[in-house]
């Protein structure tokens, strides 16, 4: 069984060990937490290609000691040509292929914005050093993970309208075997171009023009002009306070509001211990209350029906908690939101802390892999609606609902916690489990990540909306949940991918760093 890892010099956690090691190595060379995260972000876009890509989006929370966290929104906007009329003849936006690739990719711009935030911290490492691990991995070849092999086999039947997919991920229309080597020479060349020309080249240089031209040629509404006009934004993080802790997350268009609300509502219930009926029932019912607010409010931040801060006050959280019956489950489901991603965390020797998330939405995104650059483009835009009356109606330039949301916590005793997970609807729920177990009920950090998890609703690769439970829960507790009205679906796995790939780091006031990785992932904690 995994145990909490300790260090006093710096630490990195990620869902793939090579990305975590890439970040750790930057810390060893004197790089800061942001630089380490950029190196790891490029690496994981290479070694975990079914989960994320530089053709996707990202979000950051950056903590500098003594200061409020800085949030970065690196999510793309719908292309100028992406109108409802553009999709005439379609009842909904196609989920794969060129028509699914309707938004700009923001993640690389987010890397640059984060490096801008870190620039005043002192001497920086060259971009070529930060991208070197990804270049080497793409050139020499990655080892295909079990999850990549399995998901390729499961999803390849959807990809016949996705140019470049089979050449990149399933040559001869055969899924790769776990443990085999996959090279990405075009992607390596793209990283080399970025190392030479700078990250802005992705949007306003030769690379941006090549990307935009190919997207247009293949039938995507995204053009070079869309890329040239894109900027990642520094935004004000959302926050709420529970039990002597300020917890932070991203504002809309992310579901960070839901992540904060779940914990805030649950705190109002007065649960005194973890793992029993009151704990699980309380968090599940808090999730229902938070998701209903999220679904009627979270959208493009320029189009919000009201301020999300209205739902983070103690008074409002208490009102929502009053809707919860301590013994009986509220009927469910409501509509669910899919999505998958990667989350990573980093703390450097100066206490600077990063919580970071990067995604292409569904596994393999649009499935379209650009032949000129080797970039797999996201399908995040399919969360927009062709119904003009919808809260998420498609409009040119629109930001769209994101499941992505990295989290940070500042404890009154001086501890700083970076935590998060992948997994669509599961992200706010897993965050609530990890934080509450550690931050509210004093479980050791690794135990809080390893402990049995549940999922209400749908996550990546799954369409059911039941309350799913890993097999390690006490059968008597499972029966108690069923008797209270929960639609329980026991899973066969003790550690299920369905529950996401979580991680957490904690910086203590004495300078000691604690780290925990998820046994459900291919990752690790890498410490100096």
**How does pLDDT run across 261-315, given as a tens digit for each residue?**
999 999 999 999 999 999 999 999 999 999 999 999 999 999 999 999 999 999 9
Dist CA 439 CA 420 (whole Å): 14
Query: How confident is the model at residue 458, as a pLDDT?
Result: 64
SS3 338: coil
Query: How confident is the model at residue 87, as a pLDDT?
Result: 97
Whether 43 maps to a domain, the answer reads yes
Whether 343 maps to a domain, the answer reads no
- Any residues with CB less than 8 A from the CB of 430 and at least 6 apart, and which? 421, 423, 453, 455, 499, 500, 502
Whether 496 maps to a domain, the answer reads no
Candidate from 235-239, 421-425, 469-473 with smallest mean pLDDT? 421-425
Query: How confident is the model at residue 511, as a pLDDT?
Result: 97
- Any residues with CB less than 8 A from the CB of 192 and at least 6 apart, and which? 131, 135
Whether 116 maps to a domain, the answer reads yes
Instruction: With a cut of 60, say whether residue 460 has pLDDT above it.
Output: no
Average pLDDT over residues 22-43: 98
What DSSP element (H or E) covers 422? none
Dist CA 207 CA 211 (whole Å): 6
Whether 65 maps to a domain, the answer reads yes
Polymer length of the chain: 528
DSSP E strands in 299-395: the ranges are 340-347, 353-361
Dist CA 97 CA 204 (whole Å): 24
Of the candidates 113, 101, 140, 133, the residue with the CA atom closest to the CA atom of residue 21 = 133
Token pair in block for residue 300: 């493009």
The pLDDT confidence band at residue 423, using thresholds 50, 70 and 90, is: confident
What range does the domain containing 181 cover? Answer: 15-234+350-383
State yes or no: is 107 an active-site residue. no
Question: What total number of domains does the chain contain?
Answer: 1
Query: How confident is the model at residue 121, as a pLDDT?
Result: 96
Whether 445 maps to a domain, the answer reads no
What DSSP element (H or E) covers 8? none
The pLDDT confidence band at residue 95, using thresholds 50, 70 and 90, is: very high
Dist CA 117 CA 64 (whole Å): 10
CA 323 from centroid of its chain's CA atoms = 30
- Any residues with CB less than 8 A from the CB of 270 and at least 6 apart, and which? none
Whether 126 maps to a domain, the answer reads yes
Write the burial class of residue 475 (CB in 10 Å: 0-12 exposed, 13-18 middle, 19+ buried).
exposed
Query: How confident is the model at residue 462, as a pLDDT?
Result: 54
Please, what is the angle between helix 17-28 and helix 127-140, to 10°? 150
The pLDDT confidence band at residue 335, using thresholds 50, 70 and 90, is: low
Dist CA 520 CA 522 (whole Å): 7
DSSP states of 221-268 as a string?
S--HHHHHT---EEEPPEEEEETTEEEEE--TTBSHHHHHHHHHHHHH
The pLDDT confidence band at residue 341, using thresholds 50, 70 and 90, is: confident
Whether 414 maps to a domain, the answer reads no
Query: How confident is the model at residue 463, as a pLDDT?
Result: 58
DSSP label at residue 312: S
Q: How much of the chain exceeds pLDDT 70, in percent? A: 97
Distances (CA, A) of 405 to 44, 250, 274, 363, 384: 18, 6, 24, 17, 18
DSSP label at residue 399: -
Query: How confident is the model at residue 305, as a pLDDT?
Result: 93
pLDDT digits (tens, 9 = 90+) for 461-495: 455 679 999 999 999 999 999 999 999 999 999 99
DSSP label at residue 276: S
Helices then strands, counting H and E runs in the chain, come out as 16, 19
Query: How confident is the model at residue 425, as a pLDDT?
Result: 82
DSSP E strands in 64-109: the ranges are 70-74
What DSSP element (H or E) covers 335? none
Query: How confident is the model at residue 1, as a pLDDT?
Result: 52
Dist CA 24 CA 133 (whole Å): 12
Catalytic residue among 341, 353, 430, 465: 341
Q: How much of the chain exceeds pLDDT 90, in percent? A: 93
- Across the beta sheet with 467-469, what order do the strands follow? 454-456, 467-469, 488-490
């Amino acid at each position: 069984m995994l145990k909490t890892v300790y260090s006093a010099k710096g630490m990195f956690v990620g869902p793939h060990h090579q990305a975590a090691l890439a970040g750790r190595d930057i810390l060893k060379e004197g790089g800061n937490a942001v630089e380490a995260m950029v190196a790891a972000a490029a690496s994981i876009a290479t070694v975990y290609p079914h989960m994320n890509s530089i053709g996707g989006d990202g979000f950051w929370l950056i903590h500098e000691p003594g200061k409020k966290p800085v949030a970065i929104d690196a999510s793309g906007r719908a292309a100028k040509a992406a109108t409802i009329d553009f999709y005439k003849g379609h009842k909904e936006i196609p989920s794969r292929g060129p028509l699914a690739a309707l938004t700009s990719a923001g993640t690389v711009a987010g890397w640059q914005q984060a490096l801008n935030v870190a620039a005043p911290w002192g001497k920086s490492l060259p971009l070529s050093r930060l991208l070197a691990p990804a270049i080497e991995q793409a050139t020499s070849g990655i080892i295909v993970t079990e999850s990549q092999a399995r998901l390729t086999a499961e999803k390849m039947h959807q990809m016949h309208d996705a140019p470049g997919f089979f050449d990149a991920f399933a040559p001869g229309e055969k899924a790769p075997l776990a443990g085999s080597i996959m090279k990405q020479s075009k992607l390596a060349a793209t990283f080399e171009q970025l190392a030479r020309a700078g990250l802005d080249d992705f949007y306003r240089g030769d690379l941006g023009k090549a990307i935009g031209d190919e997207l247009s040629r293949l039938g995507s509404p995204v053009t070079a002009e869309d890329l040239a006009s894109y900027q990642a934004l520094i935004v004000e993080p959302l926050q709420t306070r529970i039990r002597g802790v300020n917890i932070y997350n991203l504002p809309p268009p992310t579901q960070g509001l839901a992540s904060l609300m779940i914990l805030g509502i649950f705190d109002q219930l007065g649960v005194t211990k973890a793992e029993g009926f009151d704990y699980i029932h309380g968090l599940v019912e808090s999730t229902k209350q938070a998701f209903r607010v999220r679904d009627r409010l979270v959208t493009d931040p320029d189009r919000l029906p009201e301020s999300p801060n209205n739902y983070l006050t103690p008074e409002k959280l208490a009102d929502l908690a009053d809707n919860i019956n301590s013994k009986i489950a509220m009927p469910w489901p409501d509509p669910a939101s899919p999505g998958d991603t990667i989350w990573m965390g980093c703390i450097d020797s100066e206490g600077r802390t990063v919580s970071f998330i990067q995604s292409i939405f569904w596994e393999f995104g649009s499935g379209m892999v650009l032949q000129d650059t080797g970039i797999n483009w996201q399908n995040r835009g399919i969360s927009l609606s062709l119904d003009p009356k919808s809260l998420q109606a498609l409009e040119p330039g629109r930001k769209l609902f994101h499941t992505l949301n990295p989290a940070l916590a500042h404890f009154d005793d001086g501890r700083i916690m970076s935590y998060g997970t992948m997994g669509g609807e599961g992200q706010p729920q897993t965050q609530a489990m990890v934080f509450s177990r550690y931050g509210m009920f004093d479980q050791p950090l690794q135990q809080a990540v390893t402990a049995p998890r549940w999922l209400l609703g749908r996550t990546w690769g799954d369409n059911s909306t039941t309350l799913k439970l890993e097999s390690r829960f006490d059968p008597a507790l499972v029966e108690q949940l069923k008797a209270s009205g929960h639609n329980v679906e026991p899973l066969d796995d003790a550690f299920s991918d369905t529950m996401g790939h979580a991680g957490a780091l904690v910086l203590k006031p004495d300078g000691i760093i604690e780290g925990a990785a998820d046994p459900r992932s291919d990752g690790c904690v890498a410490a100096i």
